Structure 1
Amino acid sequence: MDLLTTFAQDFAPERRTVPELLRRQAQRHADRPLFVAGEVRWSFAQALDQAQAYGAVLQRAGLRTGDRVALLCSNRAEFMQVLLGCAWIGAVAVPINTASRGAQLRHILTNSGARLLVTEGDGLQVVQALDQQEGGPLPLETIWVLDQPIGTDPRCQPYPSTPGTERADPAPVRPGDTLAILYTSGTTGLSKGVCCPHGQFFWWGAHTATLLGLVEGDVLLTTLPLFHTNAMNAFFQALMRGATLVVEKRFSASAFWASLVRHQATVTYVLGAMVPILLSKDATPDDKAHRVRIALAPGVPPQFHADFTARFGLALLDGYGSTETNFVIGADISEQRPGTMGKVRPGFDARVVDDDDNEVPAGTPGELMLRASEPYAFATGYFGMPEKTVEAWRNLWFHTGDRVVRDADGYFTFMDRLKDAIRRRGENISSYEVEQVLLSHPAVEVAAVFPVKSEMAEDEVMTAIVLREGATLGEIELMQFCEPRLSYFAVPRYVEFLPQLPATENGKIQKFKLRERGVTPQTWDREAAGYQLKR
């Protein structure tokens, strides 16, 4: 019996909620360590107690089932205390990207209707500054402040680090009840609050643990932020598999391997941008001193897989999921094909479709549509945005906005976000494919390709590039490198070398900022330079 089937049999459909998972696993694994953050270390039994204790704390603060609690803080134990406390009493956690500012942050706090905010000193300053800006004070009743005096703001209270002896009874939550509202990046408009139910996180944990091949006693280590699906999912993998999750404050290339060794980690998590960064560091005899056997590594360019595994001695597992969906596409390590995301997982359906939702043949690019056969394995919609929910779930399929191609064997390859597709001279250009060529140059560390408008009112191809430390590369040399590797119409017209690219806390390049920045006086223009492409 495979692990996914075991999870489904161990937890009947009505038991796929956080309170049920905590109670069942505390009985099974009592004193085994479950969660580590800094100096804090909880066993499975202590995690259950934390949920009960902070459920009571939230209730004393006036929070009830369905109320929203915003979290604007870094990776720390208090984040999980509040998340588990919310889950226990049926309240809803609203984790917020710590880089959120201005109108985006105001929108999230207003749209979610959060009554309580838990934040650190930096977050408090940002929120209080927003109170003074256009739109007036934020609709927050209470702010719990970590690591800083509360000042004179009447809403502020010290974080209740000592919860007391009272313990809350669990609310009668169901798998379809919302556990968390996770806000999208809002690159094309207002951020959308994705309503993620308890059942969705159950299936996230089940599918990811199965593909990673987790065993009882594994030590999972993440440097990714807890406000993101990836790291929250890691907690459920550990909870459901009898493993330990170690949460570090943030990713540091210089400290990454030492941290894995110190905690005796066996599994870790990286994103696409992290792999070339780690490879760019000088090799040392300690590169294989760790115990890690596998890393969840979505979006890693295929040319890095073999080098990374050979140097560091661990396998990279690719796959596909989104905040609205689940780990819907993937493959076991033995069936991985670098450059592809894998096949559709059991319990999910996928189609590649044209603009009218008609399925296209294998080998033809189109939009990826998804649906789940298990109840509440996907998000239930966008909070307070019914029109956006209907748009995304039209025809009863979730429209991902991702352009993919499926081959005859059922493997899916990511091409682009639809909004990142570039159309030039009547040709469709995949920014992802151009980026892979650029990244294959030994001098290039990071590259982003995006459309900018030309004088002919159509798209032109622009790239922003960060070079490896100590490397040099001229624009003409780059053109000569691209020409034999790309169709002539896909070779970038505009090139700009930058010290770094704008990125989210998760290391995802913010292309919308690059598009808004566009062509600058420092941008090299192939046509203005008189460089003629060979056709």
Structure 2
Amino acid sequence: VFAVEDSAYLAVEERLRKLPKIRKKIWVGSIAGAPPGFLNFREALGAFPRTAGRLPPTDPSDVMSIVYTPGTTGLPKGAMISHRNYSHAGRVWVENVLRAGERDVFYTDQPLSLVQTRTLSVVGALVSGCRLVLGDRFLARTFFDTIRRHGATVFPYTSPMIESLMALEPRPDDATNPARLAFGGAVDRSAAREFGVRFGLEMVEGFQLAECGGMCLANFGDRAKEGSIGKPLPAYEVKVFDEFGEELPTGLSGEIVLRPTTPEAAFLGYYREHDRTAEIMTNGWFHTGDRGYVDTEGYFFFIDRKGDCIRRGGEVFPCGEVERIVNGHPKVLESAATGIRSELDDEEVRVFLVLRPGMDVTQEEIVAWCSGRMASHLVPRHVEIVPELPKTAIGGIRKHELRKYPVREEWTGGPSSGGNSSKLPL
């Protein structure tokens, strides 16, 4: 959607209607999808001799692709990534984390729009000389049979993928497969740990950014630390800043910022958005918009998105604090917390709940569960029971969509089958 918006197609289409002298309009897509009056691209290409022209030479610093950010807190942005950036990101990943050997086989059936597929899998295989297998689509029931058939040793994971595979009935041969390592991020750590144990895998968690073209921090091997996103990989300097752009001491939470230590690791800015590029780059530091902290051993920990907070009593509280406790309820599968502006210019807490199959819940249960585990001003006042949460391809919750959801009166009790139980406008 946003790629089409940036291409200004709607504006072009409107102008085309006012330019009757244009004889040919070419549609890049299927014949069935071409609008009336457009020539199909493949047909147009076939009308020219193969020697009609040559492609201009490519420079390593040229844009190779425009990668759109997940858009968990706002509209996606198109990050321009160069050929040099991709190659460098792939080498850093393979040499420092994966340590791929000639017998390794990469497998992925995830969308190529994802960093872990595009860079860590495809480019990783290219720079290491390993074999790469691209699957058509993810099917949980046959996934590990496919891994066995191709002798795949490494593959990327996402939160939805792990959930689907863990929901399968356990098999005696679950851990009997050629895979040695799975990599990804933004997954519940206990779920990732259980997944690794069940299928006999080393689980690598990292901090990935579209703007970096690959992984910037990694938590893996003997240096892995429970709950951490790891330490910076070569070519990146990472710190935690306060709201004034000053570095914070260890243990204090702030915004995670990073700075490339080599031009090869720097992205080229956001496509057609110079102002937004300038906003996130300060004195060479890229402001990720993610909150976290670093401990005394240099391990970084992710908390949540910078804008994903609730303002109460003049203080700012991460939504993750509420979600972590709510998710611990035995009837709750997952949750998402947001703030609702109140009359006193404060925010009330609202949570969206996805319940476990066959479960029901009342307000009293949620309040009782939260009251003994969190500060009273963070106990949810608005509860929405929904069948699913809007998510990105890697499982990140689109909070900006949840904030558009109509606000109803505070839930006063009763079973979840009534009251505030409804479907989100996804």
Report TM bin, short chain: 0.7 to 0.9
> Which one of 399, 411, 426 corresponds to residue 511 of structure 1?
399
Q: Does 1:229 align with 2:115?
A: yes
In 2, distance between residues paired with 1:149 and 1:491? Answer: 50
Looking at structure 2, the residues matched to 185 and 135 of structure 1 have their Cα atoms a distance apart, in angstroms, of 31
TM superposition shift of 1:150 = 4.8
Conserved 8 A contact 2:60-2:82: yes
1:385 positional shift: 1.9
How far did 1:380 drift?
A: 1.4
Structure 1 residue identity aligned to 2:215: F
- 1:247 counterpart letter in structure 2: L
**Aligned residue type for 1:410:** G
- What is residue 378 of structure 1 aligned with on the other side? 266
Alignment RMSD: 3.4
Q: Deviations over 1:185-211 (max 9, x none)?
A: 556665432111112111221232231
Query: What's the % identity of the aligned pairs?
Result: 31
Task: Choose which of 42, 53, 72 in structure 2 pairs with 1:158.
Answer: 42
Amino acid at match of 1:220: F
Q: Distance in 1 between matches of 2:224 and 2:404?
A: 37
> Helix, strand or coil: the match of 2:41?
strand
Where in structure 2 are the equivalents of 1:72-87 lying within 5 Å? none
- The answer to whether residue 358 in structure 2 is matched with residue 470 in structure 1 is yes
Q: State the partner residue of 2:331.
A: 443
- What is the aligned partner in structure 2 of residue 274 from structure 1? 161
Contact 2:228 2:302 in 1 (8 A): yes
Aligned partner (choices 87, 100, 119) of residue 202 of structure 1: 87
Q: What CA distance in whole angstroms lies between the structure 1 residues aligned with 2:308 and 2:57?
A: 43
| Structure 1 pair 383–355 and aligned structure 2 pair: CA distance change class (3 A) | same
Q: Which moved more, 1:145-154 or 1:440-449?
A: 145-154
- Please state whether the residue corresponding to 2:287 is helix, strand or coil: strand
Correspondence for 1:143 among 20, 27, 39: 27
Q: Residue type of the partner of 1:173? A: T
1:452-531 to 2 correspondence within 5 Å? 452-520=340-408, 524=411
Displacement after TM superposition at 1:298 (Å): 0.5
State the secondary structure of the residue aligned to 1:179.
strand
1:397 pairs with 2:295 = no
Structure 1's 433 and 251: CA in aligned 2 closer, same or farther, altered over 3 A? farther
Separation in structure 2 between the aligned mates of residue 433 and residue 198 of structure 1, nearest angstrom? 40
- Displacement after TM superposition at 1:133 (Å): 8.9
User: Hey, what's the Cα distance between the residues in 1 that align with 2:332 and 2:277?
Assistant: 39
d(CA) in 1 for partners of 2:296, 2:53: 54
Runs of 5+ consecutive residues of structure 1 not aligned to the other structure = 1-99, 111-126, 530-535
Residues of 1 paired with 2:393 and 2:221: CA distance? Answer: 28
How far the C-alpha of 1:392 sits from its partner, in A, is 1.2
Q: Scaled by the length of structure 1, what TM-score is found? A: 0.68
Is 2:208 the counterpart of 1:321? yes
1:107 counterpart SS class: helix
CA-to-aligned-CA distance 1:154-184 (integer Å, 9 cap, x gap): 24233879x9987997754333221111233
The counterpart of 2:298, out of the listed 405, 410, 416, is: 410
Choose from 151, 161, 179 the match for 1:264. 151
2:234 corresponds to = 346
Q: CA deviation at 1:409?
A: 0.9
Q: Secondary structure at the match of 2:393?
A: coil
Q: 1:277 to 1:356 in 2, by over 3 A?
A: same
Residue from 322, 327, 332 that aligns with 1:434? 322
1:127-165 Cα distance to aligned partner (Å, 9 max, x none)? 8xx68998887x99643324747564424233879x998
Gaps of at least 5 residues in structure 2 are 417-426
SS of 1:457 mapped into structure 2: coil
Quote the residue 1:117 is aligned against.
none
Higher helix fraction (1 or 2): 1
The question of 1:108 aligning with 2:9 is answered no
Matched positions, count: 406
Kindly report which structure 2 residues correspond to 1:123-134, keeping only aligned pairs within 5 A, or say none: none
Quote the residue 2:78 is aligned against: 193
Q: Structure 2 length normalisation: TM-score?
A: 0.84
Q: Which deviations, in whole Å up to 9, do the C-alpha atoms of 1:86-127 show, x marking residues without a partner?
A: xxxxxxxxxxxxxx2xxx4542222xxxxxxxxxxxxxxxx8
Q: Structure 1's 382 and 296: CA in aligned 2 closer, same or farther, altered over 3 A?
A: same
Q: How far off its partner does 1:443 sit?
A: 3.3
Paired AA for residue 204 in structure 1: A
Shift of 1:251: 3.4
* Match in the other structure for 2:247: 359
Q: Is contact 1:301–1:436 with CA below 8 Å preserved after alignment?
A: no
- How far apart are the structure 1 equivalents of 2:342 and 2:160? 29
Looking at structure 2, the residues matched to 131 and 170 of structure 1 have their Cα atoms a distance apart, in angstroms, of 28
Quote the residue 1:288 is aligned against. Answer: 175
Deviations 1:261-291 (A, max 9, x none): 3333211111234323432333233433432
